[in-house]
């Protein structure tokens, strides 16, 4: 039987290493569940192998139930960290799977269901994470709302407000609260997007927030390095996550998702896990104020 972890490290053609479009239409109500996707995303459940890079660390990750946040949570646990997971209550089925995977590594999992578009919850979740983990030295601001609209006239004030509060305000609220507890050597990692550089016409509000994350990351990095804290961002291209079929893309775009990049396929969440590990670990000690792109061959 092939070991998935060993197979992922085997030299192979990256174009065919993971599933390629076309994919079936698979509409879901937002925010969507990874367990309902076809094919199932690879978050590293079987394929990520840790090497102790984050031994004893304490990580807080938003959007940790599925997608990129889930991949980071699995990788962090296998690298030796305890993890507090933030997710919407409707994402509980996915979150329970992540909790089991973290605990299977002998690490502590602190589930924190709630809506980060609410300032009061953002303050509470940081306090609960500190209480549950005994501190915070890694913060991953990853949760996001994405709703495609072909015309700006179709973006309601409610949608625009919810997107900005989920993607920008929450990052500000959580980071501000968490910095009080973060020691020298701690790391903050924000999830930006290729949309910050090359915005799609149907993602006006989402792209706006991702550009804001870029500026926030660079400004904050300059500010808090005086405290010995590093801040970086990751800018993914098309990644196969529950965000896409649950309103982030039209179902027609879901069918061919990832086909437009040079690699010809979407990225799988596990393919970003090593980047989040590097930026959180001491191996990334001289990296701050940077953005790491993973776009399937398109430049930022």
pLDDT value for 173: 98
Q: Any idea which residue has 């870029």 for tokens?
A: 214
For the segment 194-199, the average pLDDT, to the nearest whole number, is: 97
Q: What are phi and psi of 280, to 5 degrees?
A: -90, -25
- Three-state DSSP string of 142-193: CCCCCCCCCCHHHCCHHHHHHHHHHHHHHHHHHHHHHCCCCCCCCEEEEECC
Instruction: With respect to residue 29, please indicate whether it lies within any of the assigned structural domains.
Output: no
Cα 74 from Cα 196, distance rounded (Å): 27
Which domain range does residue 144 map to? 49-294
Number of structural domains found in the chain: 1
pLDDT value for 2: 75
Exactly one of 87, 197, 206, 276 is catalytic; which is it? 206
CATH number at residue 205: 3.40.50.720
Other CB atoms within a 10 A radius of the CB of residue 280 amount to: 28
Instruction: With respect to residue 202, please indicate whether it lies within any of the assigned structural domains.
Output: yes
Instruction: With respect to residue 147, please indicate whether it lies within any of the assigned structural domains.
Output: yes
pLDDT value for 58: 98
pLDDT value for 3: 86
Q: What's the predicted TM-score (pTM) here?
A: 0.96
Instruction: With respect to residue 16, please indicate whether it lies within any of the assigned structural domains.
Output: no
Instruction: With respect to residue 93, please indicate whether it lies within any of the assigned structural domains.
Output: yes
Asked about 206 being catalytic, the answer comes back as yes
pLDDT value for 1: 67
């Amino acid at each position: 039987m092939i070991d998935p972890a060993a197979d992922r490290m085997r030299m192979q053609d990256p174009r065919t290493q993971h599933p390629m479009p076309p994919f079936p239409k698979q509409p879901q109500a937002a925010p969507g569940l990874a367990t309902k996707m076809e094919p199932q995303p690879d978050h590293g459940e079987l394929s990520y192998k840790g090497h102790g890079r984050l031994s004893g660390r304490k990580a807080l990750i938003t959007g940790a139930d599925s997608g990129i946040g889930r991949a980071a949570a699995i990788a962090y646990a296998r690298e030796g960290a305890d993890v507090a997971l933030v997710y919407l209550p409707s994402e509980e089925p996915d979150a329970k799977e992540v909790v089991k995977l973290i605990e299977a590594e002998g690490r502590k999992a602190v589930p924190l269901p709630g809506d980060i578009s609410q300032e009061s919850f953002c303050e509470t979740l940081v306090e609960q994470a500190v209480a549950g983990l005994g501190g915070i030295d890694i913060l991953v601001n990853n949760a996001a709302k994405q709703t495609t609209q072909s015309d700006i006239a179709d973006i309601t004030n409610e949608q625009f407000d919810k997107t900005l509060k989920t993607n920008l305000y929450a990052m500000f609220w959580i980071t501000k609260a968490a910095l009080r507890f973060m020691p020298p050597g701690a790391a903050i990692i924000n999830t930006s997007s290729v949309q910050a550089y090359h915005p799609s016409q149907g993602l006006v509000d989402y792209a706006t927030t991702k550009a804001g994350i870029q500026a926030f990351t660079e400004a904050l990095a300059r500010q808090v390095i005086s405290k010995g804290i590093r801040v970086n961002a990751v800018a993914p291209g098309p990644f196969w996550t529950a965000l896409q079929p649950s309103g982030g893309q039209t179902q027609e775009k879901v069918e061919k998702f990832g086909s437009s990049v040079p690699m010809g396929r979407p990225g799988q969440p596990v393919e970003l896990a090593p980047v989040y590990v590097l930026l959180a670990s001491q191996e990334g000690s001289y990296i701050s104020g940077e953005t790491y792109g993973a776009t399937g061959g398109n430049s930022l």
